[in-house]
Amino acid sequence: MTGRGFEVIEPMEPVLATPTTVVVPLDGSEFAERALPHAVETAETFGARIVLVGSNEDGGDIDATRSYLRSRAVAHGHQEAECLVVTDRGAAAAITLVAGEDGRAIVVMASHGRGAVRHLVLGSVAEQVLADHAGPVLVVGPRADGSRVMRTGAGPVVLGIDEHETDDARIAMAAMWARIRHARIELVSVVNPLRVHNPAAEEHERVAARIDALAGPRTITVRSHFIENHDPANELAVRADTIGAGLVVVGTHSPTGAERLIAGNVAMRVVHLAGCPVLVVSPAHSRTYA
């Protein structure tokens, strides 16, 4: 099955299921709608269904909200998209309710990251979704270029690597995206400049070997970068912009809990700074592994 010339892939291994549902929260703002082109590309590539979600906890006009969601689906060529209005809970809870708990749904949403003050696209809403949703969340930040996701040739995938053990879900999602887009993967670690020994070097070797195993018959080019700095979010965003990345993949925290390179708040800062979408993968996504 194909959509707009994109390949719908099968799972790389029986370790990580491809998303079956793309959940897109909208609040009526143009900013939130910036997520829609990315959601459409994601759904068509994976052969997944699209669900548009609105929250009417404040007692707004349900029919008007549903009509708005339907109009957005039609405008983006997905008349068959499901449009749901959740009336008994707030935005973040509505999103995670619709996405479900099995990790096979990917949430695609816009967020201002840190510093927003209004609307569904508040950074706090995205952070809550990152904390509660079992699957990956593709976040379109304020600087994200609308053309830089999914399309072959859109740029490499930047994968943020922890100094210790990087969770398998994050590695597998980066490999999956790279396979789809025939892109290389840039492994990036931001390390403490005061350290004599760089423990991330060994981790890069392990991750590269894991990506090679996941690539199957295809070859995924992997490059490593070690940046000495105390600000991982800024450095990841700068590196992504420098190489014209199409996607940054980060995690919410290190599974070891030690010296977290990519904590939830750091992930949101990457969203705020990066010129491309950011795929945030929680260790909870590992529940989809065999």
Q: How confident is the model at residue 114, as a pLDDT?
A: 54
Q: How confident is the model at residue 124, as a pLDDT?
A: 77
Architecture of domain 157-288: 3-Layer(aba) Sandwich (3.40)
Instruction: Kindly give, in sequence order, each residue whose CB lies less than 8 Å from that of residue 137, ignoring residues fewer than 6 positions away.
Output: 106, 107, 108, 109, 126, 129, 130, 279, 280, 282
- Please give the DSSP secondary-structure letter assigned to residue 288: G
The CA distance from 283 to 286, in Å, is 6
Question: Is the sign of the CA dihedral 148, 264, 31, 236 positive or negative?
Answer: negative
Instruction: Give domain limits for the chain.
Output: 2-140, 157-288
Query: Mean pLDDT per 10-residue run, the chain (290 residues)?
Result: 44 62 94 93 91 86 94 94 93 93 87 54 75 90 79 85 83 91 93 73 92 87 91 92 94 52 70 94 56
| Cβ atoms of residues 40 and 78 within 8 Å | yes
CATH fold match for the domains 2-140 and 157-288: yes
CB atoms under 10 Å from CB of 150, counted, come to: 24
Which CATH number is correct for 2-140, 3.40.190.10, 3.90.1150.10, 3.30.870.10, 3.40.50.620?
3.40.50.620
Tokens of 22: 């793309």
Q: How confident is the model at residue 45, as a pLDDT?
A: 85
